[in-house]
Amino acid sequence: MIDRAARTFFHLLAQSSALKKLASRYGMRRPTSFARRFIAGETVGEAIDAARRLEAKHLHLTLDLLGESVTSIDSAASATREYLDVIDAVIASGIERGISLKLTQLGLDVDKATAVDNLRKILEPAEPAGFFVRIDMENSPYTDVTLEIFETLWQQGYRQIGVVLQSALLRSERDLARMAALGAPVRLVKGAYKEPKSVAYQRKSEVDAAYRRMVKAMLTGGHYPAIATHDPAMIRFTQDFARDHHVSADKFEFQMLYGIRRDLQTSLVKDGHRVRVYVPFGREWFPYFMRRLAERPANVGFVVRGILSESG
Ligand code: FDA
């Protein structure tokens, strides 16, 4: 109960422009600043450095240039150009070629055509260069349109793309069947957004039960599923189910967020699993950061300590 209230509180705080200003001022300015625990840096160079450190530990990666909810054609075009620069920088650096992006960052709130055009502009150089492009899933008003755009591009022959489904949503098991029929790779997450009970499970036990059902479906009928979670119970369930059903470790991967459960990331690699780390970076880190706090209010302690020591 307390946990639910805390989550609501952080989702509300995420709307605060005063807090955004304060956090943006102190959160990233030094190598030890508090936001750097979850965000690799503000520049692509910093993200590439972080990626190299992960690769040295045999971890895979997907880079996410943070940004969402742009409201003008110009800002969507500039986010697209920034992604094209990221692609060039990744190619030049020699790190693994993987990116994750959000459709509202590419103009989905302006209109669907703008987002599709911008996504195609990114896929045109990315696909032949061997990038895998994951389209993140945003909150439930965007589920339908995100899946529609994904299906359109898939039908146009793009194959180096994947989508995300959230076990919290009541609809997701149906969406999973639809994606499996297409042959599309799915990243399974619990869901980072506060959703109403008309569309989403409200209890953690229900979200977890749906997550387990979806893991089973993905390991038996999916296409290189990505099991994205830090939850040891979900990870153990996946390992046990895979072992009992003779699904070898190269048929799926685990994914985790930068800075979260680093111990678990490396121990899974030691056990022979492929683990991909989602590496967020960029100036627009505040909403992403607040979602991480909402997931684990205990993290607020180190943020408060960080602000006090930075401003003191
Ligand atoms: P849960 O929240 O139940 O936590 C289980 C345990 O994990 C905790 O007890 C703790 O040990 C650890 N943990 C979890 N969060 C932590 C934190 N912030 N700090 C420290 N420890 C923490 N969501 C979405 O809606 N759309 C998307 O596209 C994506 N994409 C995505 C990619 C990847 C690679 C990951 C790992 C996650 C996402 N998510 C996402 C986020 C996801 O929906 C979810 O909010 C978080 O992963 C937290 O849920 P867990 O499954 O980790 O379990």
Residue 145 has a CB neighbour count (10 Å cut-off) of: 16
DSSP class of residue 262?
H
Taking the C-alpha atoms of residue 268 and residue 255, their distance in angstroms, rounded to an integer, is 10
Burial class (CB in 10 A: 0-12, 13-18, 19+), 36: buried
Q: What is the DSSP secondary structure assignment for residue 72, as one 8-state letter?
A: S
SS3 state of residue 235: helix
Give the number of the atom of ligand 1 that is nearest the alpha carbon of residue 229: 51
Each residue's pLDDT, cut to its tens digit, for the chain (312 residues) gives: 456 777 777 777 777 777 777 677 677 777 667 788 899 999 999 999 999 999 999 999 999 999 888 999 999 999 999 999 999 999 999 999 999 999 999 999 999 999 999 999 999 999 999 999 999 999 999 999 999 999 999 999 999 999 999 999 999 999 999 999 999 999 999 999 999 999 999 999 999 999 999 999 999 998 999 999 999 999 999 999 999 999 999 999 999 999 999 999 999 999 999 999 999 999 888 889 888 888 887 777 766 666 666 554
Q: Regarding the domain delimited by 40-284, which CATH topology (the fold level of the hierarchy) does it fall under? A: TIM Barrel (3.20.20)
What pLDDT was estimated at residue 14?
73
Q: Point out the ligand 1 atom lying closest to the alpha carbon of residue 189.
A: 43
Rounded to an integer, what distance in angstroms lies between the CA atom of residue 69 and that of residue 20?
15
The tokens for 6 are 């805390």
Residue 304 CA to ligand 1 center (angstroms) comes to: 21
Question: Contact, 169 vs 191, CB < 8 A?
Answer: yes
User: Residue 123 corresponds to which tokens in the numbers above?
Assistant: 């896929």
**Vertex 72: Cα angle to 66 and 76 (nearest 5):** 40
**Number of neighbours of residue 71 by Cβ within 10 angstroms:** 11
Tell me, in angstroms, the distance from the centre of ligand 1 to residue 289's CA: 12
Q: Which pLDDT does position 308 carry in this prediction? A: 65
Ranges of each domain in the chain: 1-37+299-312, 40-284
Q: Are 160 and 127 in contact (CB under 8 A)?
A: yes
Is 187 marked active-site? yes
- Tell me the whole-structure pTM to 2 decimals: 0.93
